[in-house]
Amino acid sequence: MLDDICLDYKINYNLDSNHTISITLDSSLAEEKGIINKIGFKQIIYAKTLENNYEPFVLTGIDKILDDTVELVGIHWLTEVVSKIFCLDLKPRQLNANNMLKHIVENSEEYKRNEQYTRDIEISGNIDILVNCNLWQTSLGDYLEELQALYGNCEVRKKGFMISLVNKVGRDYPVYEVNYGVNLISNTISEEYLVYKGVLGKGYNGILGDIQYTNKVKSGMTKVVQYKVRLRDDQEDDESYIYYDTEEQCKQALNELAKKEVENLSDIVVTYDTKYLDLATVEESNTTEKTFLEVGDVVNTKIDKYNLNINTRVFEFIYDGMVEEIEDVTLSNADIGSLKV
């Protein structure tokens, strides 16, 4: 319905899975066609993507500017839906990622009330680890971060009507190459030096481990991290904790957890904001097909001038639907675990 009156639309894809859309409509044409008063809050917009598929978005903002344009903004349909899937009291046990999402959706209050969107949502997951969890008065949207941690800092993919818990979003092998002197427009590098030299593991009942140090950096801060490690007592075990029979066993477990933690925290994070031309638009290139990227894809950036040849991931990009081109790409080697869903 909006094709003939659309002046511009852009989809912002992000690795934290919160994709958004912005749309500009010609208000005069919208009024002529009798559409302007039919556009409403929480309506669903289907937007064509570079893959010739359609992604669903829910309108969250409408700005009708007199005698000019209508500006619409929206969030991905799945972002809206998972925020409404409410769990009163669920205790799923020993489930992989796929079955965990299925269990949560099908035992939600909205599914019991036969809300159509709970039937429309599709589920997938490629993590076979079996975990337990407790959901008490929370939505699936609010609980996604905890699920990511339970499955080893996995990632969330929202595509079409399918929400997935996966080891990694995007393709692992380099799917595109940016080269200085060929298709690179600009490259800005920012580095974060907030690193940690040590981590102290803290359990419950006042139990502390030893500070675990890394050899990656010469100096840095020490961070205290609390883990769900407890000394077994006369009370019944709570399945959300890990119990040990002796303080020594608790301390050993805390040290092992802290050692893994400090190796990740001591990495220096380098972020590359890279703008480049699609090779299909470069005369010197033999490539004729436009670039197809997904968030999470690996892109190789090569700048001989700075001896830079590094595989980075697509953190974010903007797709311009009117010209059917990717407009801006943000590449980084930072860990997805630093982002929030």
Instruction: Report pLDDT digits (tens) over 12-32.
Output: 999 888 999 999 999 989 888
User: Does the pLDDT value for residue 340 go beyond 50?
Assistant: no
Query: Which is it for strands 196-202 and 212-213: parallel, antiparallel or unpaired?
Result: antiparallel
Check residue 151 and give its pLDDT.
93
Please provide the DSSP assignment of 196-259 as one string: EEEEEEE-STT-B-PPEE-SS-SS-EEEEEE--EEE--SSPPPTTSEEESSHHHHHHHHHHHHH
Mean pLDDT of 109-137: 95
Q: Which amino acid is at 125?
A: G
pLDDT digits (tens, 9 = 90+) for 220-261: 889 899 998 988 887 777 777 888 989 999 999 999 999 988
- Assign 341 a pLDDT band (cuts: 50, 70, 90): very low
Check residue 338 and give its pLDDT.
54
Check residue 267 and give its pLDDT.
67
Q: Which two tokens stand for residue 103?
A: 């269990």
Phi first, then psi: give them for residue 30, nearest 5 degrees: -65, -35
CATH numbers and ranges of domains, the chain: 3-79 (no CATH), 85-166 (3.55.50.30), 174-192+268-338 (2.30.300.10), 196-265 (no CATH)
* Mean pLDDT, all residues of the chain: 88
Q: Which two tokens stand for residue 91?
A: 């205790």
